[in-house]
């Protein structure tokens, strides 16, 4: 693979970052994942806008302009011949050469890294035909989940808890209500109404969420943005998640309870189709 590090395109084995980088020492960094379908970036603009917001919230400098960012994304997709896959982008605060809780001076250069992941068959994935089994776990993450930071240890542990329980993923619960999935936004459908948690600092403002809700509205589907419990979701007709890496992913089982007939629901399948059609 050819990767991008601080201005250079390099073979992945030649890429180097300081061991004092605050991304490495303190998870002081933010990221974006943009999908690629038919060799085209999906919703680059949305990801660029959210990256800028994450950087601003953490008082971190922009490593380059949006135009340069787009150019880097396109060049990596071309160099690595990605037809279906992902572009991962990470910006960290860099370092001034030592470990310190205090931020380094404002003129310290942020570290920017991008790489591609080739995922042939991403749109036509067998996992999406089967649907995902999820478990619920407590949400013990920090209080600014709207900032897309690289602190992914708990989501990663959540995914492992799911695997150990024979499931695929986990939804997290705080104060009795579902926040989101380990790496996706969460929805259920009951009597034709799509329910999802409203935006706040408690969840990531998904780029796919925004697109899917717009498409659902255009298709005259009913949407309620409100808090919901895992019990409500278990009694739903269907459920699904959204993310740049899995688009619209059906959920067919929650905490061992099958939803509907245990296969992906019609509204979920329709939304996945619409999303992929409009994105390709
Ligand atoms: N995850 N919620 C969380 C906690 C996420 O990590 C993600 C994305 C989403 C969905 O956001 P979007 O639709 O913008 O991808 C919601 C990415 C894909 C990841 O960590 O790989």
Predicted confidence (pLDDT) at residue 192 exceeds the cutoff of 90? yes
Domain end point (choices 80, 99, 118): 118
Predicted confidence (pLDDT) at residue 19 exceeds the cutoff of 90? yes
Pocket of ligand 1 (CB under 6 A): 33, 180, 183-185, 204, 206-209, 242-245
151 and 245, same domain (yes or no): yes
161 and 199, same domain (yes or no): yes
Q: Cα of 185 to ligand 1 centre, how many Å? A: 7
139 and 30, same domain (yes or no): no
For CA atoms 155, 125, 229, 163, give the dihedral sign.
negative
57 and 137, same domain (yes or no): no
Domain end point (choices 62, 94, 118): 118
Which atom of ligand 1 sits closest to the CA of residue 180?
2
Q: Mean pLDDT in the chain?
A: 97
108 and 15, same domain (yes or no): yes
- Looking at residue 116, what is its pLDDT? 98
Give me the DSSP letters along the chain.
-EEEETTEEEEGGG----TT-HHHHH--EEEEEEEEETTEESSHHHHHHHHHHHHHHTT---SS-HHHHHHHHHHHHHHTT-SSEEEEEEEE---SSS--SSPPPTTSPPEEEEEEEE-TTSTT-HHHHH-EEEEEEE--S-S-TTS-BS--HHHHHHHHHHHHTT-SEEEEEETTEEEEESSSEEEEEETTEEEEPPPSTTS---HHHHHHHHHHHHTT-EEEE----HHHHHTSSEEEEEETTTEEEEEEEETTEEPTTSS--HHHHHHHHHHHHHH-
Pocket test for ligand 1, best of 139, 201, 243, 271 (most atoms within 8 A of CB): 243
Per residue in 212-243, pLDDT (tens digit) is 999 999 999 999 999 999 999 999 999 999 99
255 and 132, same domain (yes or no): yes
Domains: count for the chain: 2
Per residue in 136-148, pLDDT (tens digit) is 999 999 999 999 9
- Looking at residue 280, what is its pLDDT? 82
Predicted confidence (pLDDT) at residue 2 exceeds the cutoff of 90? yes
Q: Cα of 251 to ligand 1 centre, how many Å? A: 16
23 and 148, same domain (yes or no): no
130 and 48, same domain (yes or no): no
- Looking at residue 169, what is its pLDDT? 98
Per residue in 24-49, pLDDT (tens digit) is 999 999 999 999 999 999 999 999 99
106: pLDDT confidence band, cut at 50, 70 and 90?
Answer: confident
78 and 142, same domain (yes or no): no
- State the complex-level ipTM: 0.99
| CATH number for 181 | 3.20.10.10
The active-site residue out of 52, 75, 130, 148 is: 148
168: domain range? 126-279
138 and 263, same domain (yes or no): yes
| CATH number for 52 | 3.30.470.10
Pick the residue whose CA is nearest to atom 5 on ligand 1: 183
Domain end point (choices 118, 153, 183): 118
From the CB of residue 153, how many other CB atoms can be counted at a distance below 10 Å? 10
Q: Cα of 210 to ligand 1 centre, how many Å? A: 12
Per residue in 137-191, pLDDT (tens digit) is 999 999 999 999 999 999 999 999 999 999 999 999 999 999 999 999 999 999 9
111 and 130, same domain (yes or no): no
Q: Cα of 30 to ligand 1 centre, how many Å? A: 12
131 and 237, same domain (yes or no): yes
């Amino acid at each position: 693979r050819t990767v991008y590090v601080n201005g250079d395109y390099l073979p992945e084995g030649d890429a180097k970052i300081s061991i004092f980088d605050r991304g490495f020492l303190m998870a002081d960094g933010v990221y974006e994942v943009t999908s690629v379908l038919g060799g085209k970036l999906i919703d680059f603009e949305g990801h660029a806008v959210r990256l800028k917001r994450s950087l601003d919230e953490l008082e971190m400098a922009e490593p380059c302009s949006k135009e340069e960012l787009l150019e880097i994304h396109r060049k990596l997709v071309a160099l690595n011949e990605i037809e279906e896959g992902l572009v991962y982008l990470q910006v960290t605060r860099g370092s001034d050469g030592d470990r310190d809780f205090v931020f380094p001076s404002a003129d310290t250069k942020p570290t920017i890294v991008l790489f591609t992941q080739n995922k042939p068959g991403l749109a036509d994935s067998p996992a999406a035909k089967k649907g995902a089994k999820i478990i619920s776990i407590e949400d013990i993450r920090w209080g600014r989940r709207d900032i897309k930071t690289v602190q992914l240890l708990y989501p990663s542990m959540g995914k492992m808890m799911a695997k150990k329980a024979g499931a695929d993923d986990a939804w997290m619960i705080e104060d009795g209500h579902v926040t989101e999935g380990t790496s996706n936004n969460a929805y259920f459908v009951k009597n034709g109404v799509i329910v999802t948690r409203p935006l706040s600092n408690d969840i990531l403002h998904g780029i796919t969420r925004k697109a899917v809700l717009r498409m659902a509205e255009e298709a005259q589907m009913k949407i309620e943005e409100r808090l919901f419990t895992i019990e409500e979701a278990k009694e739903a007709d269907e459920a699904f998640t959204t993310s740049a890496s899995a688009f619209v992913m059906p959920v067919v089982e929650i905490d061992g309870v099958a939803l509907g007939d245990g296969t992906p629901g019609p509204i979920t399948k329709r939304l996945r189709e619409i999303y992929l059609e409009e994105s390709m």
